[in-house]
Every structure is written in structure tokens, then in C-alpha cells.
Amino acid sequence: MKLKIFSLALCIGAIPGAQAAAFGADLSAQCLTYDCAQMRVIKSAITHHDPRYVPAWRALTAQADAALSHTRYSVTDKTLVPASGDKHDYYSFGPYWWPNPDTKNGMPYIRKDGQINPDAKTNGTDSKRMVQFSDDVRSLALAWFYNGDKQYAVKAQQMLKAWFLDKETRMNPNLNYAQAIPGAIDGRGIGIIDTRVLIDVADSIALLQSSGLIPAQDLAGYKKWYADYTQWLLTSRNGFEESNWYNNHGAWYDAQVTAFSLFTGQEEQARKQMDIFKLRHLASQVNSNGEIISETERTRSFHYTNFALAAYARMGRYGEKLNKDTWGFELDGHSMKKAFALVSGQTGKPQTEWMHQEIQYQPSEATGPVLAAARAYKDVDFVQSAAKLTKTNNQDINLLIPGSVLVK
């Protein structure tokens, strides 16, 4: 059985420590969520046309090539204006909120869990735009890393500067007007989930530092923006509300504060948030069976379980960087490993084997979380599940970003 695990080691990123150390300690130190030492091994495998990675690499390159033709993104491009009257303030409204059928003007909006109102994803607000910005910057940064073509890094830097620095286009470092409810409230703490994608952007900046194409002044500006936003997260009423959510929102709040604190050199703050995550959120969210109970009660329970696990995996990775074991944390029978095991055990099984409601069952959503579990725990069950999922989803970007997890 050990031979089987070793044969899959490269696929899940579980490389021997000595081999990992041989690949650019400087780059590995500056990387945030990505395990860049393991990414260097994957890069070498791609140059040798390794079939385990080539399909994902080709898909990534296609995304990055498309991004080269995209214009820069800015919150000032929206057609609607938040309550502040300032287009530099990010603005969105809740995706599950719909016009009220019982009133003439549709106000106030009503909630339909799991059913996305397409009007929440238009150019009128910033939600779709921020995701597009994050997706493009991530694809460009990874394409530069894996392909070595500087045009990708140049384009990423242009997009980053427009979003964070340029006076005419930059976003203010707050989320006072996120996930508003038309006719009811200007913005909510729950909207902070929107900026989870800025973790991917910070990962991209960290990866691109060694490209030589981000001027020192710009890099300092990016880190100041993130430091200012982190301070807003920690001191605003919206941030306070989000920090106390019992479901994936609380975990993603923890992931943001921890990631942004690490990115800006505030290690003690990151350590404090890690402890909060383990004791306040992880221990209360996962039951003794491994169910994330606030997610399994939803109409899209499988999706939201994996979505929460994406935040958990990131916290596990930040624990590695802080030398604080998060993957192995357990309190009164509640542990992160059990939560990952529940999803891993569903691999290859029909939806009827998932004992909770799921109106849009997509088994592929478990690919990132299971790969992360295989990398962290190296148990046979996780490794075998990861092999099955990656064979079926061989273009999944999660194959190229060990250390991180992407579940949309």
C-alpha cells in the first residue's frame, strides 16, 4: 500500500521534504497559500509532458490567453451607485434575494435559498466584476509561473494597479455596501464573503513578486491596501457581524483575516485569528460525524460543505506557515479531518448516498478539498479518492495550486 501512495505522491503534491527544499526556498518563503516548492515540481513535470498535469495546464493557459484581451477591471465601472454616492466603494446585493411578488415595486426583496437572482451578477454592481478580476489575475499569475512568458505578468500587474492603486479606478478598502438588500438595508456584514476572492489575488501578488515586473512602490501600495482592509475587517460593525457567523461565513472571515495578516507581515494577528478559528468556528461547526451542520441543513448541502472545506483547507495551510497544527486539531471529538473524510467517502458514489438535500449535485466540487486532504494527511483513503477525482476532472485548476483550494 505504501508503494501505491508513493506512486500518487506527485499527483497530490506530497513530495519528500528534501526534494521540496531543493526548489527555491526564497520563492517558497514569499508565497502565501500556494505551496510553491511543490508547484516547482509540478512545473518540472509539465515540461516533461506529464499527463497528470498537462490537461490542467492547457486549460489554465487558455484562460490566461483570454485574460490578455480583457480590459482592466474597476469598481467605478458599475452602473449603480451605493448609498455612499461614491463609486469607489464596492457595492453588491445578496445573490439569493428576489423582488417581492406581493408588492408593486418588488420591495423589500425576499430570500430564496440556493436560487441565484441573475440581476445580482450584472455590471450594475461589483460582485461579478470582482470575481472576474480575481479569476483573471490568478490565471495570469499562474500562467507566468508555469509558462515563463512575461506577458502574463505584465497584464496581471496592469489589472492589479487599476484595482488597488490608480486614483481614478481604485477600490476603497471597505465593504460597507456589500450584499445590500434592496428596499431594506444598504449593506451587511454577510457581504464580506465577497472578498474571499481577494485571497487568490494576494496569492497572485506573492507569486509575482519574483517576476521583477511589480515595482517596489506598487508592492508596498498593495500591501498597504490589504493592511487597511484588514483593519476595517477587525474594527467595523460589518466585520464584527461576519466574525460571529456560525457557518462558512465565519470560517471565510477567519481565512481572510489570517491570509491578509500574513501577506502584510502581521504574524501575531494571524496567530490570534487561527486560535479563534479553531476554538470558535471549527469546534462548533463540525459535529462528531464530520458533518458541518450549518451547511448540511441547506438546499445545496454538498456544495456548501465543500465551500466551507475550501476555507478550512486554507486555514490548515496557514497553520503550516505559522507552525500551528490546524489539520490535526481536535476538541471533544470535533475535528477538521472528520469533515474532509465525510466528503472523501462520498467519492464515486451516487447522490442518493449523500444523506442531505442537494438540488444541484456536482461531485467534481470535492476535487479541491479532497486533494488538500490527501496532501495534508496522506491517508490511503484520501489518496485513493483524490486519484479518482483527478482522473475524472483532469483539467481542474486545483491540480496546479497545491496548498490552496478553489470551490466556486
User: Is the pLDDT confidence value at 14 over 70?
Assistant: no
Instruction: Kindly state the percentage of the chain with pLDDT values over 90.
Output: 83
In tens, the pLDDT along 280-301 reads 999 999 999 999 999 999 999 9
In this prediction, residue 19 carries a pLDDT of 40
Q: Tell which wins on pLDDT, 243 or 118.
A: 243
Is residue 122 in a domain?
no
Residue 140 lies in a domain: no
In a domain, 189, yes or no: no
Assigned C-alpha cell, 55: 490537461
Res. 25 pLDDT band, cuts 50 70 90: low
What value does the mean pLDDT take over residues 95-99? 86
Q: How far apart are the first and last CA of the chain?
A: 34
| Count of domains forming the chain | 1
Q: Which cell is 145 given? A: 509561473
State residue 9's pLDDT score. 44
Percent of the chain with pLDDT over 70: 94
Q: Is residue 202 part of a domain?
A: no
CATH number at residue 342: 1.50.10.100
Q: What integer pLDDT is reported at residue 222 of this predicted model?
A: 98
- Given a cut of 50, whether residue 7 has pLDDT beyond it is no
In a domain, 369, yes or no: yes
- Using pLDDT thresholds of 50, 70 and 90, give the confidence band for residue 1: very low
Tell me whether strands 177-180 and 91-93 are parallel, antiparallel or unpaired: parallel
In this prediction, residues 9-13 reach a mean pLDDT of 45
- Is a pLDDT exceeding 70 seen at residue 221? yes
Would you say residue 265 has pLDDT above 80?
Answer: yes
Whether the per-residue pLDDT at 224 is higher than 50: the answer is yes
Question: Is the separation of the CB atoms in 381 and 344 below 8 Å?
Answer: yes
306-332 residue pLDDT tens: 999 999 999 999 999 999 999 999 999
Q: Which domain holds residue 295?
A: 1-50+244-408
What is the length of the chain?
Answer: 408
Is residue 300 assigned to a domain? yes
User: What's the pLDDT tens digit per position in 148-198?
Assistant: 999 999 999 999 999 999 999 999 999 999 998 888 889 999 999 999 999
The mean pLDDT value of the chain amounts to 92
Query: Considering the entire predicted model, what is its pTM?
Result: 0.91
* Environment class of 50 (CB within 10 Å of its CB; exposed 0-12, middle 13-18, buried 19+): middle
Any domain includes 46: yes
Given this model, what pLDDT does residue 119 score? Answer: 80
In a domain, residue 269? The reply is yes
Grid cell for residue 350: 451516487
User: What does the pLDDT average to over 71-96?
Assistant: 93
Which three three-digit cell numbers place residue 205? 501578488
pLDDT digits (tens, 9 = 90+) for 331-389: 999 999 999 999 999 999 999 999 999 999 999 999 999 999 999 999 999 999 999 99
Q: Return the pLDDT at 26.
A: 67
Tell me how far CA of residue 344 lies from CA of 12, 149, 188, in angstroms.
Answer: 14, 37, 34
Can you give the pLDDT at residue 21? 42
Please give the pLDDT value at position 182. Answer: 81
pLDDT at residue 4 in the model: 39
